[in-house]
Amino acid sequence: MRAADIRRLRIPVKGAKYYCKIWLELYDGGSGQWLYACRDGLAYIFIDIDDMVDSCGSDASFRWAARVCVVDLYRTPLKMLQAALQAYALHRPLSIREESDRLVMAEALFSEGSHAPLWSGEAGRITSPDEYYEPGNENGRSFRGLRKEAREYVEAHLLEAEARDQLIDTKVVNKIGQTAREYAAGTEGLFTALDRIRKAGPNITPEQRLVLQMYGKADHTLGGDAIPERFKS
C-alpha cells in the first residue's frame, strides 16, 4: 500500500468513533483485501482478511485468510515509525495530536510488518477460480463467519490494556521463538529473541539452531542491518 492507496483519508475520522467494538473499514475488498481497525488509546487493532484466490490464483488451497494484529504507537520507536512512513511513500508532515494522522502512522506500521501478530484463521472452499465474494453464497457466509471469529477474539482478549500487553509479551508467534512484541520490534526484536536462544544452550529446537548458525555466518540481515559480533562467537 502506497500513497496512491491512501483513500481512507476520505473517511471523516476527525471526531469519528472507532474503538472497542466499533470498527472502521479501511479496505473494502476491491483489491482482494478487507482491512478493519479499532483502537484502545494508542493501541490500534487490525483485522486483515485476504482473498487467497486473488493473491495466489490456482495455488490457493482455501478462500479466505484472516489475521489479527496490534500496533501500539506508544511503544513504537521513532526510528521504526520513520522507516515505515518512508516505505509507505508518505512524506507530508504528521502530528501525533491528530487522530487522522495517528491512524496513518498505525496503518503504515501495520503494512510494513511492524505489528504484533496475535491470531490467524482460514475459511472457505475454492469451488472455481473465478468465484468471487458474494454475500449470499457459501463463500460469503464463510467470509462473514471468519470475520466474526476474528472480532470475537479481539473482544475476548485485546480490549483491556493489561491483558493485551501480557498477551503481546508472552505469545510465541514463530518457530524461532519470538514473542509478538519481539516480532513487532523488527530487527531489535529478532536479536532479543536470538540472545534468549543462545542462553538456552542445548535446550533449543533444530529450527532455532539453524537460525543461529545462519546468523553466525552472515554479516547482515536480509534488511541490511549489521549482525552483532556476539552472534558470531
Indicate the pTM of the whole model. Answer: 0.83
Q: Write the pLDDT tens digit of every residue in 144-201.
A: 899 989 999 998 999 889 999 999 999 999 988 999 999 999 888 988 998 988 888 8
Q: Is the dihedral of CA 135, 68, 209, 225 positive or negative?
A: positive
Cβ neighbours for 204, distance < 8 A, ≥ 6 positions apart = 197, 212
The pLDDT assigned to 15 comes to 43
What mean pLDDT, rounded, does the chain reach?
82
The pLDDT assigned to 140 comes to 80
| Helix H or strand E encompassing 193 | helix 187-199
- Contact (Cβ atoms closer than 8 angstroms) between residue 113 and residue 26: no
- Contact (Cβ atoms closer than 8 angstroms) between residue 26 and residue 33: no
CA distances (Å), origin 87, targets 2, 28, 178? 8, 23, 24
The pLDDT assigned to 138 comes to 61
The pLDDT assigned to 8 comes to 38
Residue 28 C-alpha cell reads as 473494502
The pLDDT assigned to 180 comes to 97
**Which stretches in the chain have pLDDT values below 50?**
1-19, 129, 135-136
The pLDDT assigned to 213 comes to 86
